[in-house]
Structure 1
């Protein structure tokens, strides 16, 4: 078995900053700000997660409490924030996080479950947000998406996350009229999509690199390429349940084009199990991007039974300690 990524990110508290693989690799989160301690499970007020996220200065947000935070409305996250759930078990419910017109966000080791209401996503990234890393989060059972990336949001990595008990899991590019979404670039790796129905992900316009993910027992399809999207699927494991179609292509018309088009998928080293069917367009290999055009290295191993076993236990929220803060870096944000 090869080496899983991020062997050193838990060596000290801020070691994860700038450590993502893929398109989100430049995200530093709250690297240059003081620590903000969440001391209450209340939705708002002093010491709350919402209070920390709304502040304009860089902050590294950690938790002194464990439990469920019931959000009565979307929790907007401002730029240069790390929301670091290591060392505690924090579940967000009711609503989700909204990353709107922001940059340099790291979200690590949280649970999202039971989001209710129209257009309520676990993590909604729109518009114009960039340099984002979502790592080791567990997401399930929202009324809309679990992670949606739309409206010119780009340079994003989603890694080591666990997705379950859901229909429309991850949407990248919301509508064929949003032609500026051609800028979208997302990396998704070492994630486990556990029986979720569809959209692992569904992509419009953007460039998406999928590698070393495990998707099993989907309900419609595993991955969907729609209008002008380019998906590079590398060393993933697709294990079918009753539905065997792994790759789907939806044809839509961009508003500035005369003809409708689907997207393209390039599959390299993927493992298809239990009758999973990989239907590829013949032009896919020639027309999709290659990740090496954008970043030099990423941690990749062959799709195998051993990788599948690791992804079932090492994705999503983990019971791990909060790493120690570096010497001289432990300032507390004023309440």
Structure 2
């Protein structure tokens, strides 16, 4: 019997709030705000997504239209916002969404494709943003990353997302000079990394819990642990293509240290298919990696299987869903 998380979050519009598993579990988005309805696919102006995203008050943002929003610049989102694509099909292109110095953000059921320009990510989270949940989004073909989490941004969950047609998929932790990124904590679960080349994710300094993800046919490696990173990989499915090394370690020197160090990976009940090589470090390694139970009490995890693999292929990314009814702002 396959048990998946979030079985009831579509019963009511605001049932998503506070329901993420993992490090992003406190994200409530715009739970206590008014409903903002996007009526225009324009980059800016009345009824646009950009207009709702920049407002300072809490908002639960929904869409009355389907189609493509071509962004001419990053779309910045302020704190206490939910961008809820359920009930419509919205594609973000041109540039991406930027979460800068904000908190309590939920982004659900959107497509991101075709972002162009230097340093253009699908979803860019920096600096000092926290309590974020990204759920059921499809991301592909951006000039930089699909999701980047850097500069002291933390307490983030990425779930049920689809990643395809891309090189540097997900970077967590900016570079060895940003030692304050030691605070980063991210959970990634029930995601599908479909033939993307590398960075599923690449992590520096922080802690990442990966569980029940399906990663296949990578081009260089599946997961990379760089300077001081701790990766807890649990019950994931790694299916190799031409490249067989699953875990990679890139030694780097933190700006406030003398020694050069890579990160560490702890693998628990992962499934390695088609000749995928775990490439785990011997000696001091997995036992030095954090355990998720030190940070949150429960999460929905099951042994990796062909059934789980098939479900992840179907249930990740943008979904054709009815828009849930809204019972209003909770008292």
Q: Alpha-carbon deviations, 1:132-169, whole Å to 9, x = none?
A: 00000000000000000000000000000000000000
Partners of 1:71 and 1:92 within 8 A in 2: yes
Distance in 2 between residues matched to 1:285 and 1:161, nearest whole Å: 27
Distance in 2 between residues matched to 1:84 and 1:105, nearest whole Å: 11
Distance in 1 between residues matched to 2:313 and 2:155, nearest whole Å: 26
- For 1:333, the equivalent position in structure 2 comes to none
- Unpaired segments of 5 or more residues in structure 2? none
Tell me whether 1:325 sits opposite 2:326 in the alignment. Answer: yes
Q: How many pairs were matched up?
A: 329
Partners of 2:31 and 2:329 within 8 A in 1: no
Distance in 2 between residues matched to 1:329 and 1:249, nearest whole Å: 47
Distance in 2 between residues matched to 1:315 and 1:184, nearest whole Å: 25
Distance in 2 between residues matched to 1:325 and 1:259, nearest whole Å: 54
Tell me whether 1:314 sits opposite 2:315 in the alignment. Answer: yes
Q: CA deviation at 1:174?
A: 1.2
SS of 2:23 mapped into structure 1: helix
Distance in 2 between residues matched to 1:164 and 1:255, nearest whole Å: 34
Tell me whether 1:71 sits opposite 2:66 in the alignment. Answer: no
Tell me whether 1:246 sits opposite 2:246 in the alignment. Answer: yes
Partners of 1:20 and 1:27 within 8 A in 2: yes
Distance in 1 between residues matched to 2:133 and 2:245, nearest whole Å: 30
TM-score (norm 1): 0.97
- For 1:156, the equivalent position in structure 2 comes to 156
- For 2:201, the equivalent position in structure 1 comes to 201
Tell me whether 1:28 sits opposite 2:35 in the alignment. Answer: no
Tell me whether 1:216 sits opposite 2:216 in the alignment. Answer: yes
SS of 2:175 mapped into structure 1: coil
- For 1:297, the equivalent position in structure 2 comes to 298
Q: CA deviation at 1:281?
A: 1.3
Q: Alpha-carbon deviations, 1:186-206, whole Å to 9, x = none?
A: 000000000000000000001
Distance in 1 between residues matched to 2:147 and 2:286, nearest whole Å: 27
SS of 2:254 mapped into structure 1: coil
Q: Alpha-carbon deviations, 1:86-139, whole Å to 9, x = none?
A: 000000000000000000000000000000000000000000000000000000
Tell me whether 1:55 sits opposite 2:46 in the alignment. Answer: no
SS of 1:157 mapped into structure 2: strand
Tell me whether 1:275 sits opposite 2:275 in the alignment. Answer: yes
- For 2:13, the equivalent position in structure 1 comes to 13
SS of 1:312 mapped into structure 2: helix
Partners of 2:32 and 2:329 within 8 A in 1: no
Distance in 1 between residues matched to 2:258 and 2:101, nearest whole Å: 31
SS of 1:308 mapped into structure 2: helix
- For 1:146, the equivalent position in structure 2 comes to 146
Distance in 2 between residues matched to 1:43 and 1:136, nearest whole Å: 23
Q: CA deviation at 1:2?
A: 2.7
Tell me whether 1:106 sits opposite 2:128 in the alignment. Answer: no
- Unpaired segments of 5 or more residues in structure 1? 331-335
Instruction: Please report the RMSD computed on the Cα atoms of aligned residues, expressed in angstroms.
Output: 0.8
Distance in 2 between residues matched to 1:289 and 1:150, nearest whole Å: 20
Distance in 1 between residues matched to 2:150 and 2:329, nearest whole Å: 35
Q: CA deviation at 1:286?
A: 1.4
Distance in 2 between residues matched to 1:264 and 1:285, nearest whole Å: 6
SS of 1:120 mapped into structure 2: coil
Q: CA deviation at 1:285?
A: 2.1
Partners of 1:2 and 1:300 within 8 A in 2: no
Distance in 2 between residues matched to 1:8 and 1:281, nearest whole Å: 40
SS of 1:73 mapped into structure 2: coil
Distance in 1 between residues matched to 2:263 and 2:165, nearest whole Å: 27
Partners of 2:53 and 2:78 within 8 A in 1: yes
SS of 2:312 mapped into structure 1: helix
